[in-house]
């Protein structure tokens, strides 16, 4: 028996994880709601600013060696 979506949402909130993480094998990054909120904030910016921020992030990741 599968729980209702409401129960699943409450469970995810209680565990401080995303609903996606609860129902799948998604990355551990989904556990960090602050990071997810920051990414959503960037995505909601005008396209040019969004692209600039992601370019900086990509450069930092590249330079870090990941």
What's the CA gap between 19 and 55, in Å, rounded?
29
Rounded to two decimals, the pTM is 0.49
Which DSSP symbol is given to 31? G
For the chain, how are helix, strand and coil distributed in percent, rounded to 5? 75, 0, 25
Which residues does 38 contact at the CB level (< 8 Å), separation at least 6?
none
Owning domain of residue 10: 5-64
pLDDT tens-digit readout, 9-63: 888 778 777 777 777 765 555 557 787 788 889 889 999 998 899 899 899 988 9
> How many separate domains does the chain show?
1
Asked if the model's pLDDT at residue 4 lies above 90, the reply is no
Structure tokens at 4: 């209702």
């Amino acid at each position: 028996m599968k729980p209702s979506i409401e129960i699943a949402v409450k469970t995810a909130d209680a565990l401080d994880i995303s609903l996606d993480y609860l129902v799948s094998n998604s990355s551990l990054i989904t556990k960090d709601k602050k990071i997810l909120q920051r990414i959503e904030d960037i995505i909601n910016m005008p396209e040019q600013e969004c692209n600039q921020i992601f370019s900086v992030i990509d450069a930092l990741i590249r330079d870090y060696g990941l």
